[in-house]
Structure 1
Amino acid sequence: MFAIERQNKIKEILFKEKRVDVSELSKLFEVTEVTIRRDLDKLEQDGFLIKTYGGAVLNEEAFKDATKDESEDENLEDKQLIGSIASHMVENGEAIFLGPGTTCLEIAKKIKDKKITVLTNDLVIALELKDALGIKVIVSGGDLIQSTSMLVGRFAHQALEGIYINKAFIGVKGVNFETGYTLDRYEEALFLQEVSKISREVIIVADHTKFNKIAFARLGDLTMARKVITNKQIPDEYKSFFFEHAVKLYTTYEFE
């Protein structure tokens, strides 16, 4: 097993158990304790864990800090309303995907009474759902992007093999006629494009501040999803575009 594979397995164990023991990991992976300590050093540098005597614990504070504090989020109320709309689209028995970001985090907060399976590549969202008894949470493997709670890369892609999702809720950073939906990171765009391929429905969630904005990496054109959840304040030309292209537009008007 390569070091990167071993380290991703350690991430999975840490996320589930919140702690790991050097000697136990040494036996599990059939490597020396020196090798395990090197793995833990690397994961500590990445901000994933905090080393302790004989082992390590999950750095939960890092994941909490990866998203804005709610009191600092000027668009929190809009995102909460988007979360409410999205929650009404989720039915018991379904398997859904929640993408990274604060808008999808608000969806997670609204679906805790559901009996569903949730796949996510956002560790903050997974932690938010850890005590929801009716929800089976599946976290993709992958590389943790520094200063975020997002997992991407080859191991994240492998988590999608052989599975099927009823609905994928995806947040974006930019919505623009010329560039379509865009995101901050190319690796994130690649992963979410793969998620779209295994999902029966792709649902874009974006508050009104994302419209007429362009981010770094292109996710897809404005018709890649047949449903969009946003706020009533979006420009009228986008309302017309979605209507003309048979994209169902859900706004927060009726929830206010």
Structure 2
Amino acid sequence: MYQEERLVSILEFLKKNNRISVEQICSLFHVSRDTARRDIVRLEEEKAIIRTRGGAILPSVSHEVKNYSSRLQMVSEEKKIIGKKASSLIYRNDRVILDASTTVQACAEQIANISCTVITNSINQAEVLSSKPEVNIQLLGGTLQKEHRFLYGASVVEKLSEYHVDKVFIGVVGISDRGLTIAHEEDGVVKRKMIEQAKQVIVLADHTKLGITDFYGFADLQQVDILITDKTPTKPFQYLLDKYNVELLTADQDREGVS
């Protein structure tokens, strides 16, 4: 096998297993330790890996979070079907919290016009729900994060502590064995308080968020009751959810009829 072919195979192994050792390269490709080390050096020079003692790992991936308006323009079919499934869990007389994410907005857009109370720190969710006469809206006041269109700060957290609700619907940038993560600390602090005030915690995440760990962790998996996603996760991820007693709802069966 030529070196170029071997380097591609090493990267494929890393994508599946996160790390590789010199011994594994020797065993997998029947090469000497010197050859394996040269492969690692070459990949490091190309900035494809990070060299570790005795092997290599993939570099961390920074997940750029576009501003809210840009994300709204890219709301996918997956988010819409997740939103539809989530909205079906909101019943008459429920008191719920909706956070400020585009996936949760897909839920807000599909909530039935029924008598219920929605508490939110999202000016977008409030605007969407204002067209539903039966829905009572409590908009949390605080500092406006203009780019991502959510309200945050001590006043938001303090006001949240006064509410005790049936359900909270939370969007994430990543959900993994590290728990729930988000890009911005001020957003995460509010989400953490929202979770504390709810009897049932429902996380909305399309399949690209599964197994991802982003910058700021705001909750552990044992705090989550339900995960709604669009595709059946991998077996290891399903085992992770089972370990923490997280109920999995896959919304792909609801795809038909969503526009």
2:190 paired with 1:191:
yes
Question: Aligned letter for 1:132?
Answer: K
Q: Counterpart of 1:254 in 2: which secondary structure?
A: helix
Tell me what 2:56 maps to. none
Q: Percentage identity across aligned positions?
A: 25
Return the alpha-carbon distance in structure 2 between the equivalents of residues 248 and 205 of structure 1. 12
Q: Deviation per CA, 1:99-127, whole angstroms, max 9, x where unpaired?
A: 11110000001104221100000101111
Tell me what 1:134 maps to. 134
Return the alpha-carbon distance in structure 1 between the equivalents of residues 68 and 254 of structure 2. 29
Tell me what 1:165 maps to. 165
Deviation for aligned residue 1:233: 4.5
Q: Counterpart of 1:84 in 2: which secondary structure?
A: helix
Deviation for aligned residue 1:251: 0.5
Question: Aligned letter for 1:146?
Answer: K
Shift in alpha-carbon separation, 1:183–1:143, aligned structure 2, 3 A: same
TM-score, length basis structure 1: 0.70
Within 5 Å, give how 1:1-256 maps onto structure 2: 66-68=68-70, 70=72, 72-73=73-74, 76-177=76-177, 179-256=178-255
Q: Deviation per CA, 1:186-239, whole angstroms, max 9, x where unpaired?
A: 111111111111111111111111112221110122221111111224332111
Return the alpha-carbon distance in structure 1 between the equivalents of residues 97 and 153 of structure 2. 17
CA contact (8 A) 1:143 1:151 kept: yes
Return the alpha-carbon distance in structure 2 between the equivalents of residues 66 and 240 of structure 1. 33
Question: Aligned letter for 1:104?
Answer: V
TM-score, length basis structure 2: 0.69
Return the alpha-carbon distance in structure 2 between the equivalents of residues 69 and 82 of structure 1. 16
Q: Counterpart of 2:160 in 1: which secondary structure?
A: coil
Structure 1 unaligned segments of length 5 or more: list them: 1-64
Q: Aligned pairs, how many?
A: 189
CA contact (8 A) 1:99 1:122 kept: yes
CA contact (8 A) 2:221 2:244 kept: no
Return the alpha-carbon distance in structure 2 between the equivalents of residues 68 and 184 of structure 1. 16
Return the alpha-carbon distance in structure 2 between the equivalents of residues 68 and 130 of structure 1. 22
Return the alpha-carbon distance in structure 2 between the equivalents of residues 115 and 146 of structure 1. 30
Deviation for aligned residue 1:165: 0.8
Shift in alpha-carbon separation, 1:247–1:161, aligned structure 2, 3 A: closer
Q: Deviation per CA, 1:147-166, whole angstroms, max 9, x where unpaired?
A: 12110101111221322111
Question: Aligned letter for 1:192?
Answer: K
Question: Aligned letter for 2:173?
Answer: K
CA contact (8 A) 2:68 2:102 kept: no
Tell me what 1:14 maps to. none
Deviation for aligned residue 1:69: 6.1
RMSD over aligned Cα atoms: 1.6
Q: Counterpart of 2:192 in 1: which secondary structure?
A: helix
CA contact (8 A) 2:229 2:251 kept: yes
Return the alpha-carbon distance in structure 2 between the equivalents of residues 230 and 133 of structure 1. 29
Question: Aligned letter for 1:68?
Answer: S
CA contact (8 A) 2:120 2:138 kept: yes
Return the alpha-carbon distance in structure 2 between the equivalents of residues 83 and 113 of structure 1. 15
Structure 2 unaligned segments of length 5 or more: list them: 1-66
Return the alpha-carbon distance in structure 2 between the equivalents of residues 195 and 245 of structure 1. 20
Return the alpha-carbon distance in structure 1 between the equivalents of residues 69 and 223 of structure 2. 27
Question: Aligned letter for 2:154?
Answer: R
